[in-house]
Amino acid sequence: MYNTFGSGAMDPNTMLSTDTSVVTKASQDEPPSYNLIAPYAPPDTCPPPAPLSSDIGGRVLGGLSPGMEHLLQVNQLTVREKFRVSQGRGFFFDVFNHIGQRLFQADQSAVCCGPFYDVSIKDNSGNEVVHLLEPCRCTCTREMEVQCPMGTPVGFVRLHWNRLITHLSVMNSSKEVIFLILGPSFQDSIFGNSTYEVKSRDEQHVVGMIKMETDHSLVTFPVDMEVTVKALLLGSSLYLNYLIKAARRDLQAQARRN
């Protein structure tokens, strides 16, 4: 029913932490070219990759946070929640590439009277690369802001309420919809594995996928996709995981009351 994309090549000179337990089997099919998909997506959705300011030994993308270069040559990310013994609240995640190298670590804060959703994504040196934020405010709209670096919005992810399906819009910094994330409803996927397609705005082309498994989630996209859009999809996968957990807690609480 769904197409999976193959593995992208990584720079052999990049020194990153490796966990072989997250290495997944590569698909037999090559990932689609984002340049070929672009004409069917909204205008200006797919700008060419930003020029590099240095060689492969120390890549930094002009105008983007240091650390975003790790997304250049990947077409697949695995997000795995990790357990920590601590007194504080919150969730912690490791983000790996297709060969099990850890690219990022994500900390989800849980503070009383704080934002609904607050996640800091850092590189292996502890430098923040991306910040995900859903402010605490009186509104019926669920919308997360993706900042890169912190304080600079590069896009938004909005949840649309629908009992039959899960429907999220991925938007650029001007809040123009560039992708849709569509999949089974929270009621169907709340306790099992589920797959969500990332589709062009007209729903004619599948450009990526988010798979929610028991102990991890898998995000796939074309290797030549612009890095800020890859960051948006990474943020979308973390946000989707959070929304599913919240729906699961609500359902369990309702069952206890009954």
Residue boundaries of the structural domains of the chain: 29-257
**Spacing of C-alpha 102 from chain mean position:** 15
Q: What is the pTM of this model?
A: 0.75
How far is the C-alpha of 233 from the C-alpha of 231, rounded, in Å? 5
Instruction: State both tokens at 66.
Output: 């240091």
Which pLDDT score, from 0 to 100, does residue 22 have? 56
Q: Which two tokens stand for residue 56?
A: 């492969």
Contact in structure between 169 and 158 (CB atoms under 8 Å): yes
Q: First and final CA of the chain: distance in angstroms?
A: 37
Task: Give residue 97's pLDDT.
Answer: 95
DSSP character at residue 62: T
Residue 234: its pLDDT value, please?
Answer: 98
CATH T-level topology, domain 29-257: Porin (2.40.160)
Distance CA 80, CA 218 (A): 9
Pure H helices in the chain: 34-37, 186-189, 227-257
C-alpha closest to that of 33 among 1, 5, 61: 5
Looking at residue 20, what is its pLDDT?
Answer: 55
pLDDT for the residue 256: 80
**What pLDDT shows up at residue 11?**
45
Alpha carbon distance 146, 140 (integer Å): 19
DSSP, collapsed to helix, strand or coil, labels residue 76 as strand
> Per residue of the chain (258 residues), what is the pLDDT tens digit?
444 334 344 443 444 556 655 554 444 444 444 444 433 333 333 333 333 333 333 334 455 578 899 999 999 999 999 876 554 567 899 999 999 999 999 999 877 667 889 999 999 999 999 999 998 766 678 999 999 988 899 999 999 988 889 999 999 999 999 999 999 987 766 677 899 999 999 999 999 999 999 889 999 999 999 999 999 999 999 999 999 888 888 777 777 887
CA atoms in the 13 A half-sphere facing the CB of 239: 28
Phi, psi of 188 (to 5 degrees): -80, -35
100 with 22: CB under 8 angstroms?
yes
**What gap in Å lies between CA 148 and CA 92, rounded to an integer?**
19
